[in-house]
Amino acid sequence: MTARTVLQQADIARALTRISHEILESNRGTDDLVILGIPTRGVVLARRIAENIQRIEPQTVASPDDIVGALDVTMYRDDLSRNPTRAPQPTALPGPIDGRTVVLVDDVLFSGRTIRAALDALSDLGRPRAVRLAVLVDRGHRELPIRADFVGKNLPSAASERIFVRLDEVDGEESVTIEEPGTTAGPGTTAGPGTTDDGGRA
């Protein structure tokens, strides 16, 4: 079976730079901004976006740690009965989220179920003024009425195909590939048939 690379390291960097500028423009700066990544690769992407924003607005963001965190959605997922051994990852907030704009970050937007779980998790942590969604890849095939506000790459694909996101910090390499069933892909987030979430965590 064939595998096709659709984003390489430079493409990913450009997409995240553009998303960072779009977040700043939408929020009109960094006031009351919180960026929360959804484990695993969403946390890596959120950190990179926060680092970009700190470089763009150093006068208002002294450190990426001031605005970036992680949001574990494990216990809010609707597939726990099928995956009871899923290991939670700790939620870490840079501060209270009440009255602030929260940008959720994930790698692949697919069915929308991971984001629904993230919204439920957020509701237990506080009441944000607004919640936005940033994703590296939107591959379509939504099962819930959820859309991304900031998208690195719209990637129409067949439902039978899988999207693999690989990031240096997790996988030791950097790419986004489309791979057909039966392809040996190795490590990386996958979103494809049989998954019920956006980032490939079955």
The answer to whether residue 63 sits within a structural domain is yes
The answer to whether residue 193 sits within a structural domain is no
Q: Give 124's contacts (C-beta < 8 A, 6+ positions apart).
A: none
pLDDT confidence of residue 196:
33
pLDDT confidence of residue 198:
42
The answer to whether residue 4 sits within a structural domain is no
The answer to whether residue 183 sits within a structural domain is no
pLDDT confidence of residue 102:
98
d(C-alpha 54, C-alpha 198), whole Å:
27
CATH no. for residue 141? Answer: 3.40.50.2020
pLDDT confidence of residue 185:
53
The answer to whether residue 180 sits within a structural domain is no
- Domain of residue 29, residue span: 11-157
Dihedral of the CA atoms 191, 197, 200, 202 (nearest 10)?
A: -120
Positions of the chain with pLDDT lower than 70, given as ranges: 1, 80-87, 182-202
pLDDT confidence of residue 195:
36
Domains held by the chain: number: 1
**Residue 85, amino acid:** T
d(C-alpha 173, C-alpha 152), whole Å:
18
The answer to whether residue 76 sits within a structural domain is yes
60 contacts 30 by C-beta, under 8 angstroms: yes
pLDDT confidence of residue 79:
74
